[in-house]
């Protein structure tokens, strides 16, 4: 049976249609757009879906910091007498999937859903802050996948080429201990690397934001909650590649595999 997905929209999210297209190309049969207001009011119910995606954009204009205003909205919202955040955590406990892309990744991290060390979704021990370059970065980056990561979204993937578009993409940890835990658990799923190496790099512009240990994406201990700063929905077809007229490229872009892995897992 083909799986279903909800793509969250509203309040400055601006990649919802690209994300919907990627999910449909990957094999999701039902893909709906759900406005944050209707999720908060209970008119759109996340438990009716098998996957929820928080796409990129500029939630609430990034007031209070990237995605922070929406973090406050979700934490303060009560639906049917239950905190919305508790409903989201139960969604994960029920074996379902959550994907956060760029602004959506910032949201998941600041909610405490990533990396959720020891499966504790109530503690926030990572954050994202301004790029070391001091400016918005819009470029394509090379990424390598940690082979020991439990992440279901990156199964059978080793190297990825995707665009980044962000001003606050630098991943920082509360302390050295939690950073080491994430590394040792394989929860640091993606790393920035150079064009000719699979080793993580801190060199600009290959690491576009100065992220700690070159981390570009995180998953929770189950591997079913995943967030990344690059945009997989923006490289689904060869014509999305910046050099598609000059290079012999496969028909499918690197980003499609992330959505395909999700569809296979749920099927």
Phi, psi (5° rounding) for residue 161? -125, 115
Q: Is 252 a catalytic residue?
A: no
Instruction: Report how far residue 105's alpha carbon sits from residue 95's, in angstroms, rounded to the nearest whole number.
Output: 19
Name the active-site residue from 70, 233, 234, 240: 233
The answer to whether 173 and 181 are in contact (CB under 8 A) is: no
Tokens 């954050």, residue?
Answer: 127
- DSSP per-residue codes, 180-221: HHHHHTT-EEEEEE-TT--SB---TTTSSS--GGGEEEEE-T
Q: Is 18 a catalytic residue?
A: no
The answer to whether 170 and 109 are in contact (CB under 8 A) is: no
Q: Is 240 a catalytic residue?
A: no
Instruction: Report how far residue 265's alpha carbon sits from residue 267's, in angstroms, rounded to the nearest whole number.
Output: 6
Token code pair at residue 35: 């406005």
Instruction: Report how far residue 226's alpha carbon sits from residue 228's, in angstroms, rounded to the nearest whole number.
Output: 7
Name the active-site residue from 15, 70, 102, 151: 102
Name the active-site residue from 166, 231, 240, 241: 231
User: Which residues are known catalytic residues?
Assistant: 102, 231, 233
């Amino acid at each position: 049976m083909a799986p279903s997905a909800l793509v969250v929209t509203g309040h400055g999210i601006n990649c919802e249609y690209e994300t919907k297209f990627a999910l449909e190309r990957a094999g999701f049969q039902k893909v709906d757009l759900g406005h944050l207001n209707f999720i908060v009011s209970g008119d759109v119910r996340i438990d009716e879906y098998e996957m929820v995606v928080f796409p990129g954009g500029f939630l609430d204009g990034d007031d209070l910091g990237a995605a922070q205003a929406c973090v406050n909205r979700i934490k303060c919202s009560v639906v049917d007498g239950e905190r919305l955040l508790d409903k989201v955590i139960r969604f994960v406990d029920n074996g379902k999937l959550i994907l956060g892309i760029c602004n959506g990744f910032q949201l998941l991290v600041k909610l405490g859903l990533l990396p959720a060390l020891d499966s504790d979704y109530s503690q926030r021990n990572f954050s994202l802050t301004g790029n070391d370059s001091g400016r918005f970065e819009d470029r394509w980056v090379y990424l390598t996948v940690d082979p020991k990561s439990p992440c279901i979204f990156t199964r059978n993937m080793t190297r990825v080429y995707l665009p980044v578009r962000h001003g606050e993409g630098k991943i920082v940890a509360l302390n050295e201990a939690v950073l080491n835990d994430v590394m040792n658990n394989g929860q640091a799923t993606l790393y920035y690397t150079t064009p000719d190496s699979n080793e993580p790099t801190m060199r600009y512009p290959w690491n576009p934001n100065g992220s700690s240990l070159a981390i570009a994406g995180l998953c929770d201990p189950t591997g079913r909650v995943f967030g990344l700063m690059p945009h997989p929905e923006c490289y689904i077809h060869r014509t999305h590649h910046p050099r598609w007229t000059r290079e012999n490229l496969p028909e499918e872009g690197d980003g499609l595999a992330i959505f395909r892995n999700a569809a296979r897992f749920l099927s």
